Structures are given as C-alpha cells and as structure tokens.
Amino acid sequence: MTENTRQATTLVLGGTGKTGRRVVDRLTARDLPVRVGSRSGRPPFDWDDQATWAPALRDVESVYVTYYPDLAFPGAAAAIGSFAGLAADSGVRRLVLLSGRGEEEAQVCERAMQEAGTEWTILRASWFCQNFSEHYLLEPVLSGVVALPAGDMAEPFVDADDIADVAVAALTQDGHAGQIYELTGPRLLTFTDAAQEIAEAAGREVRYLPVSPEQYVAALVEYGMPAGEATLLTGLFTKVLDGRNAHLSDGVRRALGREPRDFADYARDAAATGVWNG
C-alpha cells in the first residue's frame, strides 16, 4: 500500500473520544494536518446541529466518522447519510466509519455512507478493552464489581490502539477503499476472564457479576441516565453479547499485516498508568 503524500487535512469526528483522540495523536505525530471534530473544536462540530457540518468539512480530504451516542440509536442512519452526502459534495475523498460488530442498525448506517459516492472503509469493532479503564466500566472496576447483562458469553475484546492504527492506515494510505475490517483481539474472553486479568494486573480484587437486563436498566437510571437511553443501551449490550460475536476476525492482520494486541498486554499497560489504583 502506498501512502498518500499530500498534506491534506483529516477531520476526526469524536476527536476527543477513545479512538478519535488516538487517531488525532497519530496524525499529529506524523505532522499531518488534522481537525478535531467536537463541540469544543475550532470550528465546532455537533451531530445535532447540521449548521456546524459544512464549516468543519471545509478543505478536508478525509474523515474519520464516529457517531454519538451510538449507531444503533434512532436517527443515526439519516444523520450519517446526510453527513456523508455533504462530505462528498464538499470534495471529501475518503470516509472511514467506526461501526459495530454484529449490529444490524449499524449496518444500515454503513450503507448510508457507502451510497454517498466517496471512497469508504468500514471498521466493525468488537468491545473495546479501554471500556474498563477510560469509560463507564472504570468506576465498577474501582469498586471491585463489574455488573453487566452479559451472562457467560465470550467476547474478542479489541484494543483501541489497534482501531486507531487501522483508521490511520485507511485515512492516509491507498488500498483500503471498499474494505470492511472486522476488528477483534487475538482471543476470546468471558467477562469473568477479563475481570480476573484486570485483577491480576492491577493487584486488586475485581470480579464480574452477571445481572438481568432489567436490573441493569434500573442501575443506569439510578446513576442518572434517562430511562429511554438506558433501555436502548441495555438492549444493544444484550444483542451484541448474545453469542453472535463470539468468534475471532482477521481485520487487524488484513489492514496492518500484524497480529492484534492481547487483552493481557492492555491490562498490564493500563495498570502501569495507575488508573486502577483508586
């Protein structure tokens, strides 16, 4: 694959999020022009305010597309399609979409982007390792109990650094257009396995507690999440963790020519930052 040597600007939507900030860091380290697409960006970008889209797309050649709150939420496909169409009309050459693995709603969003007329690459990611250290599962890990409606199903947790590496390759190199990469880690782990590996790396007690969807919705609402959003999020969890994703894929190897990072490597490196010290 040949790297595109032109110094064209890349817009990174969700540029302060788990994968987006990693993409921004990698592009910046290579002295490639990058624009952070966020409400605090310059210019700002807001999925709920279409007036912000065109200014953010000005003089942009490639876009890393992440959608908030999730591609499975109502209105996502319409927003993705409208944005992709505007991007094509604005002269954007490449769109790279962060999608979900085993999510029919996400695939509707993928099709909406594919129909825009630009080069496209789709990254279907499994559960992020970093959910345990940078997002909603950090507090449960610190409390010692990770409660989820996941049963004993196994998941091929993927490292956000691998996602970012694949995204940057697709944004800056030829040869990725039209590709759908399913991104997973190198092995399957249950949430019990993941909790044990975190406990070993962090040197603290961490265990997994399976709960019912109803219990999880109630816990999210008690924590402050609106009931409708809690129900949608819990439905997404139970859907993607029903066994449909309990297998490995070769997307990282296909895109990068190397094996994905293992969960144990993630846990060791996260523990070394002190994030789980409490």
Give the pLDDT of residue 203.
Answer: 97
Q: Is the peptide bond before 69 cis (omega within 30 degrees of 0)?
A: yes
Count of structural domains within the chain: 1
Among the listed residues 43, 42, 83, 86, the one whose alpha carbon sits nearest the alpha carbon of residue 66: 83
The verdict on residue 117 lying in a domain is: yes
pLDDT tens for 240-263 read 899 999 999 999 999 999 999 999
| Cα distance between residue 18 and residue 198, in whole Å | 19
The verdict on residue 101 lying in a domain is: yes
The verdict on residue 109 lying in a domain is: yes
Give 165's contacts (C-beta < 8 A, 6+ positions apart): 26, 252, 255, 256
The verdict on residue 152 lying in a domain is: no
What's the chain's average pLDDT? 95
Assign 237 a pLDDT band (cuts: 50, 70, 90).
Answer: confident
pLDDT tens for 79-112 read 999 999 999 999 999 999 999 999 999 999 999 9
| Phi, psi of 241, rounded to the nearest 5 degrees | -110, 30
Among the listed residues 161, 187, 176, 168, the one whose alpha carbon sits nearest the alpha carbon of residue 263: 187
Which residue would you say has higher pLDDT here, 261 or 236? 261
The verdict on residue 166 lying in a domain is: yes
CATH number, domain with residue 36: 3.40.50.720
The verdict on residue 106 lying in a domain is: yes
- pTM of the predicted model, to two decimals? 0.95
Domain carrying residue 107 = 9-128+158-184+247-260
Assign 5 a pLDDT band (cuts: 50, 70, 90).
Answer: very low
pLDDT tens for 196-217 read 999 999 999 999 999 999 999 9
